[in-house]
Amino acid sequence: MFLNVFLSQQEMADNKPWVLISEIGDKGFHEDVVDIINQHFHIVCLKEFLQNPALHGPKIQGMFMWNFSPAAEPSLLSCLPSLKVIANGGVGIDHLDVPYINSFGVKVTNTPGVVSDATADMAMALLLASARTVIEGHLISVDSKTTHVPQSLMGVEVTGSTLGIIGMGHIGYKVAQRSKGFNMRILYHNRNRRSVEDEQAVGASYCEKLDDLLKESDFVVVVVNLTPDTTGLISHRELSLMKPTGTLVNVSRGLVVDQDALVKALMSGTIRAAALDVTHPEPLPRDHPLLTLPNVLITPHIGTNTRGTIRKMVQMMVDNVLAAVKGLAVPNEVKAK
């Protein structure tokens, strides 16, 4: 009986589908989440795959894309004749040519919803750290030469200030919910106006014109998807409309903000500060001027980087791939437009 049970378990393991991932470790999937994938799939890492595409290619049915890797390039897709789905970790799919991928008979999925809380938390963390000079204060506190705290280390008020949210989707709305706790006046600009009930729940006012939001806000938080329409959305003109005491916070995509224009605005005092979780490219070249400015705070695209959120994202990716492999309705399929 024990032998039969063992054989049954072995047979189930052997029947697990094969999937391709980038790698395990700091540049790929964190070790903490690989167990979620291993429960349901045999894993092939990209380096191993490239050593013998003819061996691995025909059996790969799913691809887990994390931090834009493995890249869905024609040369790779052509080596994966059995591929059924590319599961993207994250909401944004601006790096994926969905119609082209679909032409191979391959579905594309993402992970909406589960990233919203962590990303909204990050937006508020950046806003608060910039406003209250948290990084500057830390550096002074740990500096071996510090003998007193300079009174010039002054931040700006958050409570009672005006917050402008550009992009009032899942994440933008979560930012509004959090900012309500700081008694902030909340303005938002979005392709579509939210319902009256949604607005009233967080005390948000709709700005049909982006210009109005920029002129009135003390803090501007950018939370839009990257599309042709939003590329360079914030450039010289938009920055010039902001208050000289204003702060720009970007947790969307680096290309949404014209970085050359931002450098000029920060250097000239057009705006007070910027706090960025995203840049283009990532990381920035080490000689990029944004890295030398005292009024900019940059984090390395870690908006979703909490253990709880990452595990939820990977579980959603697993569910998407399993559904596609089994020929079931895929819960988070991204449709070509």
User: What's the one-letter identity of residue 306?
Assistant: T
Secondary structure of residue 42 in the 3-state scheme: strand
Task: Judge contact between 91 and 115, C-beta under 8 A.
Answer: yes
Residue from 282, 288, 311, 333 carrying the catalytic annotation: 282
> For residue 58, which of 86, 81, 85, 77 has the smallest C-alpha distance?
81
Task: Judge contact between 315 and 36, C-beta under 8 A.
Answer: yes
Task: Judge contact between 147 and 125, C-beta under 8 A.
Answer: no
Residue from 189, 194, 272, 301 carrying the catalytic annotation: 301
> For residue 96, which of 226, 7, 216 has the smallest C-alpha distance?
226
> For residue 321, which of 60, 69, 64, 143 has the smallest C-alpha distance?
64
Secondary structure of residue 163 in the 3-state scheme: strand
Q: How far apart are CA 277 and CA 302, in angstroms?
A: 7
Annotated active-site residue 11? The verdict is: no
DSSP 292: G
> For residue 255, which of 294, 281, 236, 273 has the smallest C-alpha distance?
281
**At 8, which helix (H) or strand (E)?**
helix 2-14
User: What's the one-letter identity of residue 288?
Assistant: H
Residue from 56, 194, 253, 272 carrying the catalytic annotation: 253
Annotated active-site residue 282? The verdict is: yes
Question: Residue 242 phi/psi, 5° resolution?
Answer: -70, 160
Q: Convert 113-135 to b/e letters by CB count within 10 Å (16 or more is b).
A: ebbbbbbbbbbbbbbebbbbbee
Positions annotated as catalytic residues are: 253, 282, 301
